[in-house]
Amino acid sequence: MALVSSVTGIPIVTRPLQHPAPGDVTPDRAEIEAWKQAFRKNLFYVLGRFQATATVNDKYLALAYSARDRLLDRWVKTSETYYRAKVRTVAVLSAEFLLGPHLGNTLVNLGAFDTARQAMEELGLDFAGLLDQEEEPGLGNGGLGRLAACYLDSLATLQIPSIGYGIRYEFGIFHQHIRDGWQIETADKWLRLGNPWEITRPEIAFDIGFAGHTEPYTDANGRCRVRWIPGRVVRSTAHDTAIPGYRVNTANLLRLWSAQAVNSFDFASFDVGDYYGAVEEKVASETISKVLYPNDSAVRGKQLRLEQQYFLVSCALQDMMRIHLQTAPDPSRFHEKYAVQLNDTHPALAIAELMRILLDDHGMEWEPAWAITQQTMGYTNHTLLPEALETWSVGLFASVLPRHLELVYEINRRFLDEVRRRYPGDDDRIRRMSLIDESGHRSVRMAHLACVGSHAINGVAALHSELLRRDVLRDFSALWPDKFRNVTNGVSPRRFMMLINPALTRLLTEAIGPAWTRDLDALRALELLADDPAFRAEWGGVKRRNREALAAEIGRKTSVAPDPASLFDVQVKRFHEYKRQHLNLLHVITLYHRLKHDPGCAAPPRTVVFAGKAAPGYMMAKRIIKLVHCVAEVVNNDRSTSDRLRVAFIPDYNVKHSERIFPGADLSEQISTAGKEASGTGNMKFALNGALTIGTLDGANVEIREAVGADNFFLFGMTVEDVRRRLAAGYRPYEHYRADEELRAVIDAIADGTFSGGDRELFKPIVDNLLGPDPFMLLADYRSYVDCQDEVGHAWGDRDRWTRASILNVARMGPFSSDRSIREYCRDIWHVKPVPIGD
């Protein structure tokens, strides 16, 4: 029977589904009973508890084990199928996977969300409270790590054989607390209450060498070879997590490595009574997987980080070779078996490590080994910021990885010969392109190694890929134009719509059928409804309820009680000067001044929401967080304005907290200086949940605006070209300050202690930075931003227009599904095909 939209009466074309979507179909009675039974069994047999005395965590674990049991079936079948079919496999190498809580997402992907909810409710349990109990694995800093997690979700959903390789950090990204407006960090002990999602595989273990020396020898065939004698060896252990696809039988593998000592006790030391000496090696070895580096841009020079990077790639490649040799005893076919994607340069040592394995362990010659390596590797760049381009001092590299440095030198020698042949006599180019930067202290340029050792290089949004080709990697793009590609980022609609926004999910499915849950482009059907008054009213109702939920969340987490009828203006992301949270603050203060001096002004009530962590050593970013709190303190406590303007900072931004924020947002702040944000993915999550964007032409904003239409996007600010011209002409921020009265009043208020109890020193570094160099050009964009915010206020006043734009934003978000990104990687870079898993 044909389904008909309850709103428009338009017939809905649906494809048959294997399992019901959340909220779609009444859960099956037998299935509900099965979940109750599984829960009771797990509580008893795995946790040794009965319901009356079980803690919330026990109950969460019992439900998590019940979900995992259902996953295991798919997981085992998937690996069996892959093993038998000897499938070509994608290996995503990433120092970060920011997964977010597993339970809710697993239930959505299994099509069992409503069933499990009903089962728990029938057992008298608070289902939402159980989901909330999960402590997320915060094994990443921000966008890069979260992108890797969305990609795993899409790889499984598209039934692509894949393995994610990463590090099982014992401490993930720090927790952020706010004391007196300042960020305080505490350790993230995410494993404290157990991790029901992983299976530890002590038998999958490798020895990872460090330091020592190399020596030449002659092999049995009389050929000269090199042997690496490591000075130190660490043992790795694999911890596996299943990654289920959405309503398919595929469950792929995420394999994270932890480090142990080869021997936990040095008995020689122990025997002579040196107990501490005896455990020293154990402690030193375990340090490698102890903690995630919490920097989201510049990472410089730390030996432990280099060791982490090598640990990851050596574990991954040894494991891949082991798996490959199980079914094809021929290392020279490695590139046929695997497509490796390097998630930025953090795993770029994989290029040297694969060479080492092929040459030293398998006795291959240089040329074939190099061809295999290049055909295997693909490199994704995530940044244009010069300080984020990784380099390692040659001295440090030599002491940690002496054999790999020799290999890097040889790769470089051959590469520079090629450059010389192409550009005879161009010594400057040689200097620029060399894998070794000889300008100051000699260092290894990891981005150059990644370019030379890969067959494909891509940026993460159209503009970013273009700027890579034009600036950062210009010489490489001139030498190998065909290696360069763009794959615009995407986000998983399972987590970032179906899981986090059940009300909108339900409305969408009622209106246009469930096809969009598998094919986000099907959201286009909503366009027909954008002018339907009844549908707009329902849409507005969903947005209002989501805003109420966000207001309640803010009330729980902060001392602010926002008005749910106000415009929710949200900026959530890492704190960084280039992301310009302080530009947002300049607008907040502008608004505050206007409300105070002209209470009759047209500005509608707004709640401005911030969340995000600053790198612990990044003092300017921490001071901007302090400024948010100080401005909030004044604005929220001023009776003359507080019904029109409120400012809230939600502490400890992470995936879990983000999930409560996106659905309630009306306005998404994407206001980086043009040319600085590679892509952004928060911008996509907001728009998918019906927020309108205020943004610059930066990163994926450009493509989002093209997709949703210029009328449905608030554009302001300089373009990349404008920035370039302005800098070339000599940028003088002070002139903006002098010429713009409103701006002057704002900066003066920050400087004169209005927000710091009269303290003129506290924000001096920010004021001096803005009036002096203003490296991120806030003052140049201020007027355009504030005018654009006025337009936002205006548009919000015309609620019909706003709702229409919100619907059209969602309708046109199809291209920003991570499924689309992964299809492009499969087609253009990896050359892999789906391998469906039967029932």
Catalytic residues, by residue number, are 382, 573-574, 579, 681, 685
CB-nearer residue toward ligand F58: 302 or 431: 302
Closest alpha carbon to 324 in 312, 333, 314: 333
Question: Closest CB to ligand F58 belongs to which residue?
Answer: 143
Please, what is the Cα angle at 361 between 286 and 91, to 5 degrees? 65
Minimal distance, residue 297 CB to ligand F58, in Å: 5
Residue carrying the six token digits 């049995």 = 220
Please, what is the Cα angle at 821 between 802 and 374, to 5 degrees? 155
Minimal distance, residue 213 CB to ligand F58, in Å: 30
Minimal distance, residue 136 CB to ligand F58, in Å: 16
The binding site for ligand F58 (CB under 6 A) comprises 141-144, 147, 295-297, 299, 382-383, 388, 460, 489, 677-681, 699
Q: Could you tell me if 244 and 110 are in contact, meaning their C-beta atoms sit under 8 angstroms apart? A: yes
CB-nearer residue toward ligand F58: 59 or 685: 685
Cα–Cα distance, 8 to 532 (Å, whole number)? 7
Identify residue 312 by its one-letter amino acid code: L
CB-nearer residue toward ligand F58: 564 or 699: 699
CB-nearer residue toward ligand F58: 142 or 181: 142
Q: Residue 87, CB half-sphere, CA atoms under 13 Å: how many? A: 24
CB-nearer residue toward ligand F58: 98 or 550: 98
Closest alpha carbon to 162 in 37, 338, 311, 2: 338
**791: left (phi > 0), else alpha (psi -120 to 50), else beta?**
alpha
Joined together, the tokens standing for residue 54 give 């079980």
Q: What is the DSSP string of 302-355?
A: -HHHHHHHHHHHHHHHHHHHHHHHHH---GGGHHHHEEEEEESSTTTHHHHHHH
Q: Could you tell me if 128 and 37 are in contact, meaning their C-beta atoms sit under 8 angstroms apart? A: no
Please, what is the Cα angle at 487 between 484 and 491, to 5 degrees? 160
CB-nearer residue toward ligand F58: 106 or 141: 141
Nearest 10 degrees: Cα torsion 114, 118, 119, 125: 120
CB-nearer residue toward ligand F58: 142 or 244: 142
Minimal distance, residue 672 CB to ligand F58, in Å: 8
Minimal distance, residue 486 CB to ligand F58, in Å: 12
Residue 416's φ and ψ, nearest 5 degrees, are: -70, -30
Minimal distance, residue 777 CB to ligand F58, in Å: 18
Minimal distance, residue 223 CB to ligand F58, in Å: 40
CB-nearer residue toward ligand F58: 605 or 616: 616
Task: Quickly count: other Cβ atoms within 10 Å of residue 189's Cβ.
Answer: 12
Cα–Cα distances (Å) from 748 to 593, 753, 771, in that order, read 12, 9, 11
Q: Could you tell me if 109 and 119 are in contact, meaning their C-beta atoms sit under 8 angstroms apart? A: no
Q: Please count the residues of the chain.
A: 839
Minimal distance, residue 571 CB to ligand F58, in Å: 14
CB-nearer residue toward ligand F58: 57 or 295: 295
Minimal distance, residue 145 CB to ligand F58, in Å: 6
Closest alpha carbon to 198 in 166, 175, 174: 166
Identify residue 439 by its one-letter amino acid code: S
Cα–Cα distance, 388 to 95 (Å, whole number)? 15
Q: Do the strands 645-650 and 182-186 form a parallel or antiparallel pair, or are they unpaired?
A: unpaired
